[in-house]
Amino acid sequence: MLTDHFRPQSFNGIDDIVIVGGGLAGLFCALKLAPRPVTILAAAPIGYGASSAWAQGGIAAAMSKGDTFEKHVADTVAAGAGIVDEKMTRMMVAEGPARIHDLLEFGVPFDRDLEGKLLLSREAAHSERRIVRVKGDMAGKSIMEALIAAVRNTPSIRVIEGYVVEELVREGRFISGVIARPDAGQSKSRVSFPARAVVLCSGGVGHLYAVTTNPWEACGQGVGMAARAGAIIADPEFVQFHPTAIDIGKDPAPLATEALRGDGATLINSEGRRFMLDIHPDGELAPRDIVSRGVFAEVQAGRGAFLDCTKAVGRHFPEMFPTVYASCMAAGIDPVRQPIPVTPAVHYHMGGVLTDGEGRTSIDGLWAAGEVTSTGVHGANRLASNSLLEAVVFAARIAENIKGSLPAPKLTAWGDNAGENDDPVTVEDSPPFKMLRQLMSDCVGVVRTRESLTRAIRGIAELERTNKRLRFANIVTTAKLIAIAALQRTESRGGHFRADCPDERPEWRRRTYLTLAQAERLAAEVAESEPA
């Protein structure tokens, strides 16, 4: 639907800049572009279909007296397992405090101490307390609420909700607009939106997998669309599994925030043993990939894994972590007195559309920000709470770049598109999508092998052959890029673990760059080879 409140009369159905996605990166970019006319296309009502709104931990920024930019960069590089782009990271970290102040001006109620100073907490792999939070575990929800209110009060921003963008329109070397399907993707017709600048902020890939903490809309469509348009995709094999999704059979899985472990909660198995102490000297505060594999091993062994907050948080749980508390109590678990059953779940994608320091992709006219991108700041394993920081920093840089490169708005009419007027498919309910999710979890999950990845690539090829819908093609394209890159990287690094290649290899201390054409050739080679 087109929300009337967001339809200033001056637009009259015309566009200059189109932002795809109504999450943190998209809204922040639109606000930074004001008063320039901007149209945001969102698949779901803004604030409901974005992973940003579900983020519990907060935003990392070096703002305390004992902290420095150098320390924040060093922690990011260490977590990223050798392939972090340090130049991009320094830029992001240096601009972090300014973006926190922007969010404060937009009305975000970050936690403060009795003197009114920002209250900073610590999370895994951070050497200092630098996480800015809201009521313990409500940062994402509170940030989104503040930005949505700011967008509603900005007349230059038009939000069109319930439009699923299915295709980037390319003319020569330029992206010249998008094509979207109304009615939450259920309309039989589509609408074209010509634009001089398209900003892709469409989110991550969590729902490519059977167990994820991400909303339904995070199914990799943005990466697939960009790849199909010819964009370079970077580091797609690096998928981060959050080690402490609450294991109560819900889809998406509720999250037990990392901040709980930062405040002293421990991981135990059904025998009551703290198994992480046998795996890493930092125990529960080891990097997420290591903790995820530790939890995965206990679950696979039948011992189960549990987050014990009874001593570290105890009776303060309801007020300190209300979101987690509510999820547990709804499932009949009292975290004040009982350990919480947990399992690894896909949480974040370090890979995505390659962008430079200004958020520009490899195709002119297309910028990108947020989880759909790969800026290089996360390397092989994102440092906790750097994701929201990356989203606001690069969204702001995109706004400045567009203002500089396209100084004068040029408005273009939009209307019905003649192509692809067919019966749509509800992707999340379709058998092929369910098959894809299970295939990715089974074969391209926490632990991978050449055999499992080969099986995944062959399964993906069969799903492509038998399902020709454009929206599914975008989704399965992203799955293919992840699986191909994982097969090519014959080592283990960060979020990518190969049981048949368990060590890091120096020749792979580099990023992955892949186009769809290259992935197609590699997939064809796998299809023609003997079964593993």
Name which CATH class applies to 15-237+350-404: alpha beta
244-344 and 431-528: identical CATH topology:
no
> How far is C-alpha 79 from the chain's CA centre?
17
Q: Calculate ∠ Cα 515-519-217, nearest 5°.
A: 75
Phi, psi of 240 (to 5 degrees): -95, 125
At 42, give phi and psi (nearest 5°): -125, 135
Look-up of token digits 């520009």: 360
**Phi and psi torsions of 118, nearest 5°:** -60, 135
pLDDT in tens, 304-363: 999 999 999 999 999 999 989 999 999 999 999 999 999 999 999 999 999 999 999 999
448 carries an active-site annotation: no
Q: Span 159-166, mean pLDDT?
A: 95
Instruction: Tell which residue, 109, 146, 139, 138, has the closest CA to residue 323.
Output: 138
What are the structural domain ranges in the chain? 15-237+350-404, 244-344, 431-528
The closest alpha carbon to 371, from 92, 51, 28, belongs to 51
Residue 9 has pLDDT above 70, yes or no: no
Residue pair 44/22 in contact by the 8 Å Cβ criterion: yes
In CATH terms, 244-344 corresponds, of 3.30.1330.90, 1.10.540.10, 3.40.50.300, 3.90.700.10, to 3.90.700.10
Fold of 431-528: Methane Monooxygenase Hydroxylase; Chain G, domain 1 (1.20.58)
pLDDT, one tens digit per residue, over 18-50 is 999 999 999 999 999 999 999 999 998 887 767
Angle at 45 (CA atoms; ends 256, 149), nearest 5 degrees: 85
pLDDT in tens, 237-275: 999 999 999 999 999 999 998 889 989 999 999 999 999
- Evaluated on CA atoms 149, 150, 151, 156, the torsion sign reads positive
Catalytic site residue from 288, 382, 458, 469: 288
Closest listed residue to residue 119, CA positions, set 15, 242, 259, 302:
259
Q: Give the C-alpha separation, 77 to 59, whole Å.
A: 17
